Amino acid sequence: MTPSHGVKKGELMKEEKFLNFGPEEKVLTFKAEEKKDKPKKVKVVNCLKLNVRSSPEKKDNILFIVNENDELVVDGEIKNQHAWTRVYNAAGAKGYVLTQFIREI
């Protein structure tokens, strides 16, 4: 999808900024559009209850618990099986889970 400014994802966008130095003075700057992965739906697998934690550490606080087959959303990269992945639930609460317990659907 092309944003309303006509620049495709990952391209540079030229932005003109006029300064108060005089009528003909202007500075051209370029902004790289931020690349974001499309959100992915995942479901909880291989465990009856999965702790969603405040940060990617086993010792950190449990924010909420999800059940096997519950759906979550990942807005970034799904990490390797032994890493942590940031997820969101349907209410928008976010936290981290061990990747080995989620599968993309």
Domain boundaries 40-104, corresponding CATH code = 2.30.30.40
pLDDT tens digit sequence for 27-66? 555 555 555 668 899 999 999 999 999 999 999 999 999 9
Sketch the domain layout of the chain as residue ranges. 40-104
| SS3 letters across the chain | CCCCCCCCCCCEEEEEEECCCCCCCEEEEEEECCCCCCCEEEEECCCCEEEEECCCCCCCCEEEEEECCCEEEECCCCCCCCCEEEEECCCCCEEEEEHHHEEEC
Q: Does the pLDDT of residue 75 top 90, yes or no?
A: no
CA 48 to mean position of chain CA atoms: 26
pLDDT, mean over the chain: 79
Model confidence, pTM = 0.64
